[in-house]
Amino acid sequence: MIDTSLLPAFLAVSDTGNFSRAAQRVSLTQSTVSQQIRKLELSLGKSLFVRDTHRVVLTPAGIQLLPLARSILDSIAHAEHVLTDSQLQGSVRLGIADDFASSRLPAILRSFRRTHTKVDLKIEVALSGPLLDRLRDGALDLALVKTLPGDHRPEPLLTQEPLVWVGAADSLDLAKVRPLPLALHAEPSVTRRIVLPLLQKAGIQGIIMHESSQISGLRAGVLAGMGITAFGRNFIPPDLVVLDAQTYGLPDLPSLNFILARRSGPLDEAITALIKDIESRAPEWERRHA
């Protein structure tokens, strides 16, 4: 039988890839986390991690356990909420950048809504620039958005996402055409403001053949052979493939920086609770492309 008290340590090591950071996350000593992982491995009769001098990675058994462990702890948290009847109330207006919402929104909201059923949560999905404008205007409480490399904002970096060139599998030769046909977000777009200057610096003329303010619109344009684009590696829509920059003579792209921006003024308990919930998931996102 699995001792569920050992699962938080397992998830912490999996998410952070490091026993020291995992210990900080679950407020235990590093030796205690190591002991708990060993106890869990002994109870299952399988190794869950491969350890080397640089990082800790999941074994096949660990990969199998990961979604089950999350589900078990989510169920426990839900049961505790139902039985204790959390009294947290209020409202939160959350803006999320389109690409992030397309891939990670359900995971961000699932546990929060289960735990805080009396909180009125409103979601707005848009480009990062307009979301920051609405945050400044007081129309949003929080905004999970992209920022340009080198932007100096008061909020700490939440996570990073490698930016890669992307095209349709049956139109890969478009990446060799000059001027380079592009499918990009309409202004204001952080990705657009990264891609165009880098192409110019590399001496490559780009011509925007297709624009859209939504991920689905960009996907349609790329699939139609209108041009290539750039997406975060873990945000790539179905049917599109990564293009190797060196193969097609394209400049390397930086990582996208994501922050969780907050409105000015005091924040109530519901907003603070959602901030903590989102920040606790950031190490998991980092691990996906570590």
Per the structure block, which two tokens stand in for 57? 């990675």
pLDDT at 86: 59
CATH superfamily of 90-160+257-287: Periplasmic binding protein-like II (3.40.190.10)
pLDDT at 290: 46
Peptide bond into 188 cis (omega under 30): yes
- In CATH terms, is domain 4-84 a member of 1.10.10.10? yes
Residue ranges for the chain with pLDDT beneath 50: 289-290
The whole-model pTM stands at 0.69
Of 34, 37, 32, 27, the C-alpha closest to 6 is: 37
Of 108, 198, 123, 192, the C-alpha closest to 158 is: 108
Paired with 42 in beta bridges are none
SS3 annotation, the chain: CCCHHHHHHHHHHHHHCCHHHHHHHHCCCHHHHHHHHHHHHHHHCCCCEEECCCCEEECHHHHHHHHHHHHHHHHHHHHHHHHHCCCCCEEEEEEEEHHHHHHHHHHHHHHHHHHCCCEEEEEEEECHHHHHHHHHCCCCCEEEEEECCCCCCCCCEEEEEEEEEEEECCCHHHHHCCCEEEEEECCCCHHHHHHHHHHHHCCCCEEEEEEECCHHHHHHHHHCCCCEEEEEHHHCCCCEEEECCCCCCCCCCCEEEEEEEECCCCCCHHHHHHHHHHHHHHHHHHHCCC
- 123 residue type, one letter: I
Region of residue 45 (phi > 0: left; psi between -120 and 50: alpha; otherwise: beta):
left
Q: Tell me the CATH number of domain 161-255, given options 3.40.190.10, 3.30.70.260, 3.20.20.10, 3.40.50.720.
A: 3.40.190.10
Residue ranges covered by each domain of the chain: 4-84, 90-160+257-287, 161-255
pLDDT at 289: 46
Domains 90-160+257-287 and 161-255 in one fold: yes
